[in-house]
Structure 1
Amino acid sequence: MRNFFLFCIGLFVLPAQAEGLTPSLAQWQRTAQNPLSPNFSLPIEYKFHGGAPDGDVHIGSFGAIMPIRFDGWNIINELTLNIMGTPGDITGIRGLPQPYTGDGHGGSDGYAAGLADTYFTSYFSPRINDEFSLGLGATFVFPTDEPSRELGSGKFSIGPAVMLVYQTPKYWTLGLQAQQIWSVIGSAERDHVSQMIVKPTINYNLPDGWYLQSNMEVIANWESPSDQRWTVPVGVGIGKIFAVGKNAIDTRIEGHYNAVTPDLGPTWSINASFTFIFDELD
Structure 2
Amino acid sequence: MKLKLPLVALLGLALFSVANAQTSDQAQAEELAKKLSNPIASLISVPFQNNTDYGIGPNNGTRNTMNFQPVLPLSISEKYNLITRMVLPIVTQYNVTAPGAKENGLGDAVVSGFFSPKQSSFTWGVGPALLIPTGTDDFLTTKKFGVGPTAVALKQSNGWTYGALINQIWSVAGDDDRPDVNQMFLQPFVTYNWKSGAGLGANMELTQNWESSDTTIWLSPIVSGMTSLGGQKVSLAIGPRFNLAAPDGSKADWGWRAVVIFVFPK
TM interval, shorter chain, is 0.7 to 0.9
Task: Indicate yes or no: 2:59 matched with 1:68.
Answer: no
AA partner of residue 37 (structure 1): A
Instruction: Identify which of 37, 52, 56 aligns with 1:33.
Output: 37
AA partner of residue 68 (structure 2): F
Q: 1:87 to 1:191 in 2, by over 3 A?
A: farther
What is the CA distance between 1:188 and its match in structure 2?
3.0
Q: For 2:183 and 2:118, locate their aligned partners in 1 and report how far apart those are by CA, in whole Å.
A: 30
Provide the aligned C-alpha RMSD in A: 2.8
What is the CA distance between 1:4 and its match in structure 2?
7.1
Q: Provide the residue aligned with 1:50 in structure 2.
A: 54
Q: Provide the residue aligned with 1:97 in structure 2.
A: none
What is the CA distance between 1:240 and its match in structure 2?
1.3
Q: 1:270 to 1:189 in 2, by over 3 A?
A: farther
* SS, match of residue 209 in structure 1: coil
Q: Provide the residue aligned with 2:264 in structure 1.
A: 278
Q: For 1:73 and 1:246, locate their aligned partners in 2 and report how far apart those are by CA, in whole Å.
A: 30
Q: 1:144 to 1:79 in 2, by over 3 A?
A: same
What is the CA distance between 1:190 and its match in structure 2?
1.9
CA contact (8 A) 2:34 2:193 kept: no
Deviation string for 1:123-143 (max 9, x for gaps)?
A: 1011243x5211101111111
Q: For 1:199 and 1:127, locate their aligned partners in 2 and report how far apart those are by CA, in whole Å.
A: 23
Q: For 2:248 and 2:139, locate their aligned partners in 1 and report how far apart those are by CA, in whole Å.
A: 20
Instruction: Identify which of 159, 163, 182 aligns with 2:152.
Output: 163
Aligned residues: 258
Higher mean Cα deviation, 239-248 or 195-204?
A: 239-248
Q: Provide the residue aligned with 1:111 in structure 2.
A: 102
What is the CA distance between 1:152 and its match in structure 2?
2.5
Deviation string for 1:87-137 (max 9, x for gaps)?
A: 5866xxxxxxxxxxxxxxxx78832211111221111011243x5211101
Q: For 1:150 and 1:259, locate their aligned partners in 2 and report how far apart those are by CA, in whole Å.
A: 23
Q: Provide the residue aligned with 1:93 in structure 2.
A: none
Instruction: Identify which of 193, 197, 203 aligns with 1:215.
Output: 203
What is the CA distance between 1:211 and its match in structure 2?
1.5
CA contact (8 A) 2:111 2:130 kept: yes
Q: 1:17 to 1:236 in 2, by over 3 A?
A: closer
* SS, match of residue 145 in structure 1: coil
Q: 1:254 to 1:187 in 2, by over 3 A?
A: farther
Deviation string for 1:13-53 (max 9, x for gaps)?
A: 66677667654322122111112111100101111233322
Q: Provide the residue aligned with 1:133 in structure 2.
A: 123
Task: Indicate yes or no: 2:115 matched with 1:124.
Answer: yes
- Where in structure 2 are the equivalents of 1:10-25 lying within 5 Å? 11=14, 23-25=27-29
Deviation string for 1:227-256 (max 9, x for gaps)?
A: xx1122334221112256886311111222
Q: 1:141 to 1:181 in 2, by over 3 A?
A: same
Percent of pairs with identical residues: 26
- Where in structure 2 are the equivalents of 1:203-242 lying within 5 Å? 203-206=191-194, 208-225=196-213, 229-242=214-227
TM-score, with normalisation over the residues of structure 2?
0.84
Higher mean Cα deviation, 192-201 or 4-13?
A: 4-13
TM-score, with normalisation over the residues of structure 1?
0.79
Task: Indicate yes or no: 2:237 matched with 1:252.
Answer: yes
CA contact (8 A) 1:140 1:157 kept: yes
